[in-house]
Amino acid sequence: MHALLILASAEGGANPLAFEILPAITAFTVFGVAFAILSVKVWPTIAKGLDERNSKIVGEIKAAEEARAAAKAAQAEFERSLANVKRRADVVLCSSRATMDDCLVAGLAADRLRLVPLGVATDRASHLDVARVRRRYGLPAEYLLFVGTVEPRKNLRRLVAARSRVPDAPPLIVVGAEGWGATGVGTDAPGVRFLGFVPEGDLAGLYAAAAAFCYPSELEGYGLPVLEAMAQATPVVTSRGTATEET
């Protein structure tokens, strides 16, 4: 028995790769969407009560919309994988109600869907952690923070435009590797600084030191960075009508 996991990729891979669905541990990335096939034994709590049925954990359906615009090959692979989910899954575990709605639109029966929100396991950053990341990245006393793969659906262009209309707004620090597609925000945008990929050990301090975490993404299956920021008691600004609103 195995499960298919579909979720946002932290690194935002840009190359479409195709693999057959195998009853073994494997993974691949299609334009920022990571697919992993793993034994349900890794998920004893989730697997409990499913008897001998196959389960599929689906994180992001809407990414198919942007995959269509980016590459027909990636879209075909996504649709093939979705067809496998429809055909083989008795239970589909969804990380958000927004994803459940997407599954319904995609043709999955409501009685096969289960809501299983994600979570984060992290410690609160200490004053020493905050001081260390401030020194390491030369951060100002006050800043706005974005964390995520830098790609069009993250809506950075609107965030930068909104910030530009606020007098004396703190600078925007953008953390995350480059994904696919043009965001409309150059690295020379006034008041915006791109740090690129940062080690996981620095994230808690970056969240904790921020005046606010800004995540106006238009398409999300869940949006873990919102939860990560809340875990550091950092105020969050995010989008309506997406999974991040549920968090």
Q: Are 39 and 54 in contact (CB under 8 A)?
A: no
* Predicted pLDDT of residue 35: 35
* Predicted pLDDT of residue 99: 86
Q: Residue 50 pLDDT more than 60?
A: no
Q: How many Å apart are CA 14 and CA 31, to the nearest integer?
A: 5
Q: Which of 27-31, 37-41, 190-194 has the lowest mean pLDDT?
A: 37-41
Q: What are the E-state strand segments in the chain?
A: 2-8, 26-30, 33-39, 55-58, 91-94, 113-115, 144-147, 172-175, 192-196, 212-215, 236-238
Give the mean pLDDT of the chain: 74
Q: Residue 72 pLDDT more than 80?
A: no
**What are phi and psi for residue 43, nearest 5 degrees?**
-120, 65
Instruction: Give percent of the chain with pLDDT exceeding 70.
Output: 69
* Predicted pLDDT of residue 59: 57
Instruction: List the structure tokens of 192.
Output: 């915006």
Q: For the whole prediction, is pTM greater than 0.75?
A: no
pLDDT tens, position by position, 117-167: 888 888 999 999 999 999 999 999 999 999 988 888 888 889 988 998 888
Instruction: Give percent of the chain with pLDDT exceeding 90.
Output: 28
Selection from 185, 222, 197 nearest residue 12 by Cα: 197
Give me the mean pLDDT over the 52-80 stretch: 62
Q: Residue 64 pLDDT more than 70?
A: no
pLDDT tens, position by position, 173-206: 999 888 777 777 877 788 899 999 999 999 999 9
Strand pairing partners for 28? 35
